[in-house]
Amino acid sequence: MVEIRLLEIAQFLGCTVEGNKEALIRGVAPLDQAQVDDLSFYTNSKYATRAKLSKAAALVVGLHDRERFAGRSLLISDNPYRDFARVVAKWFNCAFLPKAGVHPTAIIGENVQIAEGCSVGAYCVIERGAEIRAHTTLFPFCYIGSKVTLGEHCLLYPQVTLLDRVIIGNRVILHSGVVIGGDGFGFAPDPNRGHIDKVPQVGWVEIADDVEIQCNTTIDRGALGATKIGRGTKIDNLVQVGHNVEIGEHSIIVSQAGISGSTKIGNWVTLAGQVGLVGHIQVGNGAIVTAQSGVAKDVPPKSVVTGSPAQPMIENRRALAGMSRLSELRKKVRDLEYRLRELEQGKIDSG
């Protein structure tokens, strides 16, 4: 069992300690589940009551919240959520990783390079010419296509599929069901022949360092050239990335987003859940697209857009406010129409 003093955690994080510096931390937990030897964190005023009632030995909080929890043991942080995650990663991350080596049921093609410290699980298939660099782990049933390059310290959970010529950087995490390098949706209709011709998808996919892609997300190869995912970007479950899309660094793509072909997304962009983007547009650096928005044109840098079709947040709110008054406006129009008819028929005095 892990047992660590609060002061030691503070020194690791570079945080200030208030309260009992010698408190022993043996676990981490949410506010409402924490026990007397657990560390928890607080960032949202919505959970203030939970935090005050929490049994946690100590809380990681922001400087502006220290007075709210006076009398408790605290770690004062400029980013409580991040620092709590750092504590979990260092002392309480118990994820199972298999030992290095190639399982006897794995199928390894010709001219495959597997570096030292790699783990290749049961029933994995690695096709000819692929390169797996040092200390990368493939859980069972992964498929690595021909001439794939997979960087150092990567982690592929069961049933990840990397098709031919995919290039993966270092420290990339791919969760179960991810498919990278499938054909893009490229077809050329020919009504005169009564046929739809497939456009060959002969490009590839490049994924930079420190990317994480979660379960059942698909990223298509370029029709020509590359589909690119930038360094540090995080992609949620059930996201579709079309051919020749380019996503910049440190962007967040949330579940069920769909990005059509050749769209370019900048750095530090957030696409919330169920966002849909048409093809061949650009989303500028630092932009935020709120949930269920439909984006049909370029999004300027650092803007916040919402709705379908997506528009700047303030314009959307004005439009919604106007819609909320439509019933009242319709009633006024009906009253004015009635009065106008009465005037025209001379039934009421115009004065």
- What letter represents residue 84's amino acid? F
List Cβ neighbours of 189 (8 Å cut-off, separation of 6 or more).
Answer: 196, 197
> Do β-strands 113-114 and 131-132 pair in parallel, antiparallel, or remain unpaired?
parallel
And the tokens for 288?
């935020």
37, burial (CB in 10 Å: exposed 0-12, middle 13-18, buried 19+): middle
Q: What is the DSSP letter of 183?
A: P
Assess whether 243 carries a catalytic annotation: yes
286, burial (CB in 10 Å: exposed 0-12, middle 13-18, buried 19+): middle
> Do β-strands 304-306 and 311-312 pair in parallel, antiparallel, or remain unpaired?
antiparallel
> Do β-strands 270-271 and 252-253 pair in parallel, antiparallel, or remain unpaired?
parallel
> Do β-strands 187-190 and 195-198 pair in parallel, antiparallel, or remain unpaired?
antiparallel
Task: Assess whether the previous peptide bond of 309 is cis (omega < 30° from 0).
Answer: yes
The active-site residue out of 64, 103, 153, 243 is 243
CA distances from 198 to 80, 113, 201, 348 (A): 51, 34, 9, 72
List Cβ neighbours of 278 (8 Å cut-off, separation of 6 or more).
Answer: 260, 263, 295, 296
Residues designated as active site: 243
